[in-house]
Amino acid sequence: MRFSPLIRISLALMLITTTVLLTAELIGLTPNEADRILDARKTLCESMAVQFSSLAAKNDMSTIEETLQALVERDADILSAGIRRSDGSLLAEAGAHEVNWEAMPADLSTPTNAQVPIFNGESRWGTVEVRFTPVTPDSLLSLWKSSLFRLTLFVAVVGFVLYTLFMRKALRELDPTSVVPARVKYALDVLAEGVILVDDKGEIVLANATFSEKLGHGADTLVGRKASELKWMSLETGEPVEDLPWLRAMREGQRQSGVPMSVQSRDGSRQLFVVSGAPILDGKGNSRGGVATFNDVTELERKNHQLEETLRLLKESRDEVERQNRELKIMADQDPLTRCLNRRAFFQRLERQYIKASAGGADLACVMCDIDHFKTFNDQYGHAVGDKVLEKVAEVLRGSLNANELICRYGGEEFCIIVPGVDESQAIERAQAMRRAIEEAAGSTIRITSQKSITASFGVSCLSMGARESSDLLNQADKALYVSKDAGRNRVTLWDPVQASQQPLAV
């Protein structure tokens, strides 16, 4: 809990007063209560000795005992008393004297154990022994009986009340905020942004209502406190801000604006501000203090975080939609079993390849591939085995292609491959490589029986062979494929435009 300046000053003055009072007691400037008590005890003991000496001379023991008893009962400081003969025997006592009395050397007294000799004539008759309570308080009750304690407590309580009343009136005249006219204070209090005025030491001399409410403090508890004590943090780095905008403005004599900072309010929450500072100059241009304004952006930052989170979710949603669209496009363009292009997508790409090659004078090769005896796989071993054969052959063919080359599942077990930029000999070489790869890789991976393996027949055609349309290129390669199948399968046949009316050449 942070007290107001009024309470803090009054407490300080009260502590100073009580300290002075106790110091005076320590150095002996005030009456010493302990000395007074000891003097009173000494006088009492001497009076008792005189009285008991007179009674001893008359041998009036009953009066001595009555006097001892009355003395103990009436004086709260006396615990017990007794008359002891010279031989050490206890002649009379009042109170539990044997229990309370502490054995002492002859005629030696202490503040709690007093011994006074009694004479009968010229000879010593005995000793008066009196057991007193301790002079120094040893309990709260005894402490309360101490006049010094009660005086100190009285001065502390009454002094604090009087100092508070006096300082309240004095601070009205000395309050640093009193230099600000009431109309100016009212104008600052109705502002939506927080405002503080600081002196040349950086201490707050005025805080408007908005700033006080944002931080959860009363305006009077902020006055006199250094604004830097509020533990400002940078919004950009999250580190404590040492060079605060208003201090920098006072030091450099120039306005500082737009500094994002945060501060912890009294309830533990963090308030976010955009802070500006400006120096307050006197007539000679010297800095006499500064003013700082605090634009609360806590809600704005919260909205920004919400917006950023929404944008993040939208981006994730958009990315997911794009991913699904890519998957849908792939599903729309691909054959699901072999992952090769379907006929629709293939013909679109083929037409672009054909137009590009024709316009650029480049060659374009078409390779038709058909799995040998595929119907036998389905008939003898079932469609599941047939699908495995298709998948493996398609995998081998796809692995033989570059990025700009196309492969399509043209029919049930027939594939069409477009290879741009190769001539007839290169196309034949590529087709032969595919045929061997199917026979070796696919045949060894999916071997149904020891007598039956996987092979494929190929037909090859090139744009340079006279195809006027893309469909002509496909038809030529397809016819060359059937020549391979008729010639015994598992081979490559090149379409020959010269012998178009005859049987094409099988290689």
Task: Dump pLDDT digits (tens) for 447-493.
Answer: 555 456 789 999 999 998 888 899 999 999 999 999 999 999 999 99
Q: Do 459 and 367 contact (CB within 8 A), yes or no?
A: yes
Residues 6 or more apart whose CB falls under 8 angstroms from that of 319 comprise none
Mean pLDDT over 434-444 rounds to 83
- Region 334-506: CATH code: 3.30.70.270
**Strand duo 406-409 + 233-234: pairing:** unpaired
**Residue 100 phi, psi dihedral angles, 5° rounding:** -80, -35
Residue by residue, what is the 3-state secondary structure of 389-404? HHHHHHHHHHHCCCCC
Quick: pLDDT tens for 258-302.
889 998 888 888 889 999 999 988 777 788 889 999 998 888 878
pLDDT at position 215: 85
Q: Is the pLDDT of residue 320 over 60?
A: yes
Residue 174: pLDDT band (50, 70, 90) is low
Q: How far apart are CA 113 and CA 110, in angstroms?
A: 5
pLDDT in tens, 191-231: 888 898 888 888 888 888 888 888 888 777 788 788 888 88
Edge-to-edge strands, sheet with 364-371: 406-409, 414-420, 364-371, 456-462, 492-494, 505-506
Look at residue 141 and tell me whether its pLDDT is greater than 70: no
The pLDDT mean for the chain works out to 83
Residue range 178-296 in CATH 3.30.450.20: yes
* Cα 208 → chain centroid: 30
Percent of the chain as helix, strand, coil, to the nearest 5: 50, 20, 30
Helix runs in 75-146, H state only: 97-100, 140-145
- Tokens standing for 47? 């009076």
DSSP string across 311-368: HHHHHHHHHHHHHHHHHHHHHHHB-TTT-SB-HHHHHHHHHHHHHHHHHHT--EEEEE
Cβ atoms of 358 and 462 within 8 Å: the answer is no
For residue 506, count CB atoms less than 10 angstroms from its CB and return exposed for 0-12, middle for 13-18, buried for 19 or more.
Answer: middle
**How many Å is the maximal CA-CA distance in the chain?**
178
Q: Which of 445, 447, 476, 451 is nearest to 463 (CA)?
A: 476
Q: How many helices (H) and strands (E) does the chain have?
A: 17, 16
Between the CA of residue 301 and those of 76, 292, 313, what are the distances in Å? 76, 21, 18
- Tell me: pLDDT of 416 over 90: yes
Q: Where are the alpha helices (DSSP H) in 382-469?
A: 383-399, 424-437, 443-445
Residues with Cβ within 8 Å of residue 190, at least 6 apart in sequence: 209
Q: Residue ranges of the domains in the chain? A: 5-30+140-174, 33-132, 178-296, 334-506
Q: Is the pLDDT of residue 329 over 70?
A: yes
Residue 145's pLDDT is what? Answer: 64
CA distance 439 to 452: 11
The arrangement of strands across the sheet holding 287-296 comes to 204-207, 194-199, 287-296, 270-281, 256-264, 233-234
The answer to whether domain 33-132 and domain 334-506 are alike in fold is no
Q: What percent of the chain has pLDDT over 90?
A: 25
How do residues 180-202 score in pLDDT, each as one tens digit? 566 767 777 778 888 988 888 88
Angstrom distance (rounded) from CA 185 to CA 198: 14
State how far the Cα of 46 lies from the Cα of 52, in Å rounded to an integer: 10
Query: Strand (E) positions, 421-507?
Result: 456-462, 492-494, 505-506
Helix (H), strand (E) at residue 42: helix 33-58
What are the strands, taking DSSP E only, across 54-112?
A: 78-85, 90-94
* Residue 252 DSSP label: H
CA angle (164, 167, 170) in 5-degree steps: 155
pLDDT, tens digit (0-9, with 9 covering 90-100), for 42-73: 888 888 878 878 877 777 888 888 888 888 88
Question: What is the CATH code for 33-132?
Answer: 3.30.450
Nearest to 128 by CA among 143, 107, 105, 142: 107
